[in-house]
Structure 1
Amino acid sequence: MVTATALEERLLELAGAVPDPELPVLTLRELGVLRAVRVHTGDAVEVDLTPTYTGCPAIEAMSLDIERVLRAHGMREVTVRTVLSPAWSTDDITSEGREKLREFGIAPPRVRHGDGPVPLTLGPTRTQAPQAPHATPAAPDLHVTDTATEPVRCPHCGSADTELLSRFSSTACKALRRCLACREPFDHFKEL
């Protein structure tokens, strides 16, 4: 493994401070998409950037912002490479980034326990919980259920009693949910 130079560390810090274009509350470092910075000559640098998912429309804006910042700090030639392997996952979001998402009103992705692929279960947007004893077919006890073992907690009040409204929200990587305790809607950054 090659050790980064002081200049590479500084450029990594500068590029990492660039805000995400879709979630400006997070930096690229906090989001975990910035992989490496390598200086090839005194003023030519190559940056490795991994999108949150293949085809992410924000990758172009991220690349341009990184180029602008590094050129402003003396780099004549900046090349931003899109690197797909290893793939980005929500596990790459830093703990600081997760806290910023929560403070911003977005439920952060749940932390996965273990390696391997993320299980994905497709189903209807709204599902019924098992019938409560007082429910009848004419008046069912409707409640959204998730297949994940950990609940998605409301970033406003912390309640685990939330429901899925839509699998997609303002971006493809977020779902729209509502808290049944405080009744506030919120985005949930989906686990990938």
Structure 2
Amino acid sequence: MSGDLTHVAEIAGSVPDPEIPVVTVADLGILRGVAEEEGKIVVRLSPTYSGCPAVVAIELAVEAALREAGIEARIERVLAPAWTTDWISAEGREKLRAYGIAPPVAGGRASLFTAPVVACPRCGSEATERVSEFGSTACKALYRCSECSEPFDYFKCI
């Protein structure tokens, strides 16, 4: 059955994030596991942020992708341990950057009163400034690059 579970994980992990479609559930590290319990397949997912409006959409999209592949599974939401931006894969971080979103800065957890140094995803300059604590979604902050003058979202660390 482990080969089947690997296949289930591949399908579930390939579902794109509805808010940032260039990254997948696997890229974000929110696919916590796939198991067989009492003859049923269980897919465990963690929300990125508490209150994220995409949580239900992601769960439904994973369930639909599996059903389309002929796989019935129960989706289980896992809250502990809480998801962290450290779980975003290297490939996921690069996909964010290529899409124009600065990925979380490693070790970038800042206090409430300071902003991390964030490189512009377009030109790479670190001459950037935070314009707003919130960007296009609550999980992102809005920054502007002083070199290329472009605004961009930064995926905040948690």
TM bucket, shorter chain: over 0.9
- One of 57, 64, 68 as aligned partner of 2:60: 64
The 1:41/1:7 distance shift into structure 2, 3 A limit, reads: farther
Q: State the alpha-carbon separation in 2 of the partners of residues 147 and 48 from structure 1.
A: 33
TM normalised by structure 1 equals 0.78
**CA RMSD of the aligned region, Å?**
1.6
Q: State the alpha-carbon separation in 2 of the partners of residues 53 and 84 from structure 1.
A: 10
More helix by share: 2
Q: State the alpha-carbon separation in 2 of the partners of residues 111 and 161 from structure 1.
A: 18
Identical aligned residues as a percent = 50
Q: State the alpha-carbon separation in 2 of the partners of residues 61 and 168 from structure 1.
A: 21
- Structure-2 residue corresponding to 1:137: none
**Cα offset, 1:175, TM superposition:** 0.3
- Structure-1 residue corresponding to 2:153: 187
Q: What is the total number of aligned residue pairs between the two structures?
A: 158
Alignment of structure 1 residues 35-46 onto 2, 5 Å: 35-40=32-37, 44-46=40-42
- Structure-1 residue corresponding to 2:9: 12
- Structure-2 residue corresponding to 1:28: 25
- Structure-1 residue corresponding to 2:48: 52
Q: State the alpha-carbon separation in 2 of the partners of residues 147 and 33 from structure 1.
A: 25
* Residues 96-119 of structure 1: CA deviation (Å, up to 9, x unaligned): 000001000110001128xxxx4x
**Cα offset, 1:75, TM superposition:** 1.9
**Cα offset, 1:41, TM superposition:** 5.9
Matched AA of 1:164: R
- Structure-2 residue corresponding to 1:94: 89
* Residues 48-100 of structure 1: CA deviation (Å, up to 9, x unaligned): 10001122111100111111111112223x21111011111110000000000
- Structure-2 residue corresponding to 1:80: 75
- SS in structure 2 opposite 1:109? coil
Q: State the alpha-carbon separation in 1 of the partners of residues 48 and 64 from structure 2.
A: 21
Q: State the alpha-carbon separation in 1 of the partners of residues 134 and 76 from structure 2.
A: 28
Structure label with greater radius of gyration: 1
- SS in structure 2 opposite 1:46? strand
TM normalised by structure 2 equals 0.93
Matched AA of 1:73: A
